[in-house]
A = this chain, B = another copy of it.
Amino acid sequence: MTKNSSESKSPKTLKGLQSEVQSINRIALSVDCVIFGFDDEKLKVLLIRSDLKKFQSKWSLLGDLVKPDEDLQASAYRVLKQRTGLKDVYLEQVHTFGKINRHPAGRVVTVAYCSLINSRSHRLKILDNELHWHDVDTVTELAFDHQKIFENSYDWLKKRIQEHPLGFNLLPNKFSLRQLQNLYEAILNITLDRRNFRKKFFAMDFLIDTGEEEQNVPHRPGKLYKFDYDKYEKNKKTWSGIDF
């Protein structure tokens, strides 16, 4: 194997390295957002029709190229903002996909971000019929390698939500325990015991009783709770080590 300059062990000048960084060694970098929403008792993911002719009939994740003067995460927030009109939403990096031929237009490495949004608040904004919420269990054959990215992100979410109470990001500010349980059941695709579920969440002690109740339900109304973000942020570290 021949040694090129980047493998050499002699100290480099900053200038030398700069020319390497600015050389042909550059690659297009994109972000793709897997945007989850929860509505109608179902977990949804926001997809757009591919704007590439080759994939005309296929759906794809929302993404864009990262600009050279833009933070990676800022880039993901930009995509979110453009497509949903929302900012200050939950967003977390999941994985980077870099197979050489994953994109037909050339080498594009993409960083996948997972976002959770409360689909009530955004609904207004989506008038574009090229943009659509899909039930997660009907998502198949996305464009590019987006099917794989989606599946990894959904697996990631299933796991992550069992370690951290992220679900609140998918619910309205005030929610009933029934809504919360429906959410968990939809994401994990299981049924849960109501009493044990309630016991578990109360034990976590992140629910604030708003004193309010559900309105206009054809049965006994449930209490409405808020999530105690402050308390969660404070206790987060002592829970479950990792937090990027």
A residues contacting B by CB (< 8 A) are 6-14, 17-18, 20-22, 24-29, 51-54, 56, 64-73, 82, 93, 95-100, 103-109, 111, 128, 130, 152, 155-156, 158-159, 240-244
Contact = CB atoms under 8 A, between A and B. Distances in A.
A152 B68 CA distance: 25
Given A70-B100, A99-B72, A158 B241 contact: yes
Contacts of A29: 26-27, 29, 98, 109
Contact of A14 (B26, B105, B128): B105
A79 to B, nearest CB: 9
Contacts of A98: 29, 66, 71-73, 111
B130 A65 contact: no
A129 to B, nearest CB: 11
Give this chain's copy count: 2
A22 B27 CA distance: 8
Nearest to A24: B68
Contacts of A17: 52, 105
Given A68-B24, A103-B21, A9 B51 contact: yes
7 contacts: A9-B51, A11-B56, A20-B65, A20-B105, A22-B28, A27-B68, A95-B244
- Lowest 9 CB-CB distances: which A-B pairs, in order? A72-B98, A26-B26, A17-B105, A21-B28, A21-B106, A18-B105, A96-B96, A155-B242, A21-B105
Contacts of A66: 25, 27, 98, 109
A68 B128 contact: no
Given A73-B98, A93-B96, A98-B66, A52 B241 contact: no
Contacts of A243: 155
Nearest to A31: B98
A53 B95 contact: no
A117 to B, nearest CB: 20
Given A9-B51, A9-B130, A24-B68, A14 B156 contact: no
A131 B56 CA distance: 51
Given A7-B64, A71-B98, 15 more contacts: A7-B82, A9-B128, A10-B51, A11-B51, A14-B54, A21-B105, A21-B106, A21-B108, A25-B28, A25-B67, A68-B107, A69-B100, A93-B96, A96-B111, A152-B242
